[in-house]
Structure 1
């Protein structure tokens, strides 16, 4: 018998959407979010090797509380390119995600939940940083003519030279640091030697980041000139060990 016009559906509590939620499902959704941001920063890369490398660094204390505070400082200062801001927030999200794995193995529920909360927060922050800013930066690089194959090859060759010749005493502390320091020098080469007058610091920094992550020769040059921690993380990011 069809319901009458006066029939109304019994209200259902909105809390029911949480009824079947589990820690495992929450972590899977978090990993999906991290993978999405990782794909924006490093197209084609897998988040699992990155998390595995961080787990190792946390376990052997090659990554310390002081290192964590420094990255938090980057977020607090809220400066740099969209790529640097996204990298900092994403790195924190990945660190806390790795802590989830470690604390789960210890069966420490309170610390696991705390790590999930922090990982989710910084994952959302990274997504917010990257969405519009990446589109703008990549488009600026395209309009400046920096993505053309012939010009791109010359830019990468010059970038390799700069990574080696301008290497800090203890090595590059991160791709963001290298991009910020080398961008003015590479911009001078692009405008003077390649006559690409539309290039600016923002588009050049974007190109440096993309080249370090996606060009094999530039990536190798960065690994050889980076500090020990960055070199290890960059190498491990290209491997695929299981977190299990």
Structure 2
């Protein structure tokens, strides 16, 4: 029998076509989650950007187009070793934030940057987003916050990267939110939960005095088998 054609990639020997299939699926997932961000109101117009890693590359949303306008082939392929575009296209102007995340945190498989209304409102008023319900504790844990930096700059990318050393969600004052995850689904869920937490905190502050979960209560939530199971699903499914 003739030998099956194989290719070597990152030290692994795999049948030809495997990576092409993986890339096609990832492009479809990026379109799917991009549309969900629009549907949930986490981005407006052409704001926000998302990306996902595969091997030594990332696929990132293009510059100037809204998520609900994008097709799978519109996402731009970028080499993570040198930051160069592969195959054409103009990547998001926030490419440095994404590239720095992947270069410095090998556990990150996806990055989601949004402009959620309540999150921006709360942090730009000088408040932090505290733990007030179990999903926030389980999926996010802690939200870091950085002062305003000019968008699309290395200064911003470096500030975000520094904040990610202790969190998987970073609020940027007067700008937006960035979340990371091992999968697109995990990064997406974190964005949704942070915005819900900001909304809950906002409402509670208007009605009365918000009750914040204690560290002991947070620890008890993190130790629940049900929460560990749900978190495991997000990390293993795109």
Common fold, TM-score beyond 0.5?
no
> Radius of gyration: which is bigger?
1
Which has more strand, going by share of residues?
2
If asked which structure has higher relative contact order (CA below 8 Å, sep 6+), I would say: 1
TM score, norm. by length of structure 1: 0.26
TM score, norm. by length of structure 2: 0.26
